[in-house]
Amino acid sequence: MRRVMVVVLLVACTGPSTEECLTKQSEGRTFSTGVFARNQSGCSTNADCITVRAMLTCYTGCPTAISAARRTAVEGELAGLEDTICGGSACMVNEGCNPVSAACIAGSCRTLEGAADGGTPDGG
């Protein structure tokens, strides 16, 4: 009886495949990059820009600069990607991220490597 119980526990503890999680990472990165790219224009100063990250149940991306005025719309659009990207997956992919800041360059919010001097980084 003990062997049967061990087998059942092992089956119950199996997680998603590496391939599935790599697919979720690729899809999460691709879709969130598109959302961010559509929402980077329209700044005059660094204060007009903030960093946000895609935070889904299966994928957390790196902070990316967007227009502060579009934060709510961006967060709503990212939340709308939950079912499309994660769809109940047990994957939990977290991109390895370096510290970044947001800056307005030629009327567009850009993500800069390094500590935040301008713009407002998110808390994570």
How many Cα atoms within 13 Å fall on the side-chain side of residue 64? Answer: 24
- pLDDT of res. 64: 97
Q: Is residue 114 left, alpha or beta, with left meaning phi > 0 and alpha meaning psi from -120 to 50?
A: left
pLDDT band at 114 (very low <50, low <70, confident <90, very high): confident
Residue 9 has pLDDT above 50, yes or no: no
Annotate the chain with DSSP letters as a single string: -HHHHHHHHHHHT----HHHHHHHHHHHHHHHHHHHHTT-B--SSGGGEEEE--B-SSEE---EEEEGGGHHHHHHHHHHTHHHHTTT----EE-----EEEEEETTEEEEEESS-SSSB----
> pTM (2 decimals)?
0.77
More confident residue, 14 or 33: 33
- Domain limits, the chain: 24-113
Nearest C-alpha neighbor of 121 from the set 52, 74, 33: 52
- With beta carbons less than 8 A apart as the criterion, state whether 78 and 60 touch: no
- pLDDT of res. 19: 95
Q: For 24-67, write each residue's pLDDT tens digit.
A: 999 999 999 999 999 999 999 999 999 999 999 999 999 999 99
Give the mean pLDDT of the chain: 85
